[in-house]
Chain A
């Protein structure tokens, strides 16, 4: 199986490479359009800030390529948000528009409600083969200040304190807001489930 990770200088991809390595899978980090098109699975991790990520994607023509991919695709963290139409981050940034959501910032409503939403939270209303074998008792690791609201595309929710999209899907495009590669055995299971899609 050929696994490609989209290389757009989107932060810490080493952890994703190591997580795949622990599953006995070798992945290629690449921005090459042909390699990405021919891969069996494509992973799209990301950390940091949306505007500079979009700039890099555009510089490499990936903003044109990614929406045309047809194999199972997994966005992670910022890699999920970038699939939306627009984000409030950086004074407002247009994104890939593969999924019909707009990303907004958490508002700190109370002193105990810190932003970023950082730490382990449980997944609710799971509705995808991506979460096979998991339940609402399972926790995954989040670090983010912006989120996608719940919509028809939502395949898992988490609450902080109101529900938001912990995972989304449109056709072959799957994406999770949390860090599968840092979510212990639960995250490993989700990665395994993705590799089986």
Chain B
């Protein structure tokens, strides 16, 4: 039986993980390869690396990182963050990334999704959508790290991305991100029902029950989180054991 997936997300800058990873027994918490290997050993189903480097060397450092991670890691990983061209994607995939996620570039020019899917196959093209709720307009999609409201409806955009050939949607609720109050069940469920491709829920995870809820009530295919894993608040193995006890298919 196909399992639901648990995906830790690592923010990287200039080839190092950032956002205060506090892990006992890890000699260098800033080393993405060491952290990735540790998560893989603990039972992570996949990893996502989000690159927040903003320098001219971005592409070279990211490609080098992907190579280092791919050399060590025996589970799939996705790379995202400022990826905008076919040649960016090609360099990352050829060096061992399994998937790339695109966000702002896809909203700026949606045909990019069609082009990437045709060139590399849908299976490696993840469209990341950052959604925020407001009373007047409902859930809308934001770009540029959440600073720019595109005015586009989140469900409608995810459906378009899927129609254009995305293989997976990474849906982050900016309204929930950092709150630890749980995933946004309404928008996650709405997107999951609107598309026939897998949906990764992100933003708001604070407890094991939050994952149960997003799988059982919002039909998410995967749950992504960062800080609760980095700070050791929830261990991946204990989370997966909990979810299996709740009747959710898990790889243990």
Contact = CB atoms under 8 A, between A and B. Distances in A.
Contact of A116 (B5, B95, B97, B122): B122
A143 B5 CA distance: 13
Interface in B67-117: 67, 70-72, 74-76, 93-98
Interface string B168-211: 10000000000000000000000011001111000000000000
- Most central of A117, A119, A144 by chain B CB within 10 Å: A119
A14 B96 contact: yes
Given A119-B45, A119-B198, A185-B74, A18 B221 contact: no
B98 A49 contact: no
A88 to B, nearest CB: 15
A121 B93 contact: no
Nearest to A107: B196
B8 interface: no
A139 B120 CA distance: 26
A14 to B, nearest CB: 4
Contact of A115 (B70, B72, B197): B197
Nearest to B66: A14
Interface residues of B, number: 37
Nearest to A144: B123
B167 interface: yes
Interface string A115-142: 1111111100000000000000001011
B36 interface: no
Interface string A158-197: 0110000000000000000001011111011000000000
Given A19-B74, A121-B2, A187-B74, A116 B93 contact: no
Interface string B217-233: 00101100000000000
Contact of A114 (B72, B97, B197): B197
Interface in B47-72: 67, 70-72
A119 B71 contact: no
Interface in A14-57: 14-15, 18-19, 21-22, 47-49
Interface of B is mostly: loop
B196 A22 contact: no
Contacts of A118: 123, 167-168, 198, 221
Contacts of B121: 11, 47-49
Given A12-B98, A19-B74, A121-B1, A114 B196 contact: yes
B40 interface: yes
Contacts of A152: none
B96 A141 contact: no
A18 B123 contact: no
Contacts of B237: none
Contacts of A18: 70-71, 96
A184 B40 contact: yes
B5 A119 contact: yes
B45 A182 contact: no
Interface in B138-168: 167-168
Interface of B: 1-5, 40, 45, 67, 70-72, 74-76, 93-98, 120-124, 167-168, 192-193, 196-199, 219, 221-222, 251
28 contacts: A12-B94, A12-B124, A14-B67, A14-B70, A18-B71, A21-B71, A47-B123, A48-B121, A48-B123, A112-B219, A114-B197, A115-B197, A118-B167, A119-B3, A119-B45, A119-B222, A120-B251, A121-B1, A121-B2, A121-B3, A139-B3, A141-B76, A142-B2, A143-B123, A181-B74, A182-B74, A184-B40, A185-B74
Q: For the complex of A and B, list the 6 residue pairs with the smallest distance between their C-beta atoms, beginning with the closest.
A: A48-B121, A139-B251, A14-B96, A120-B251, A108-B196, A143-B123
Given A19-B74, A187-B74, 8 more contacts: A12-B96, A18-B71, A21-B71, A114-B198, A114-B221, A120-B45, A121-B2, A143-B167
Interface of A: 11-12, 14-15, 18-19, 21-22, 47-49, 108, 111-112, 114-122, 139, 141-145, 159-160, 179, 181-185, 187-188
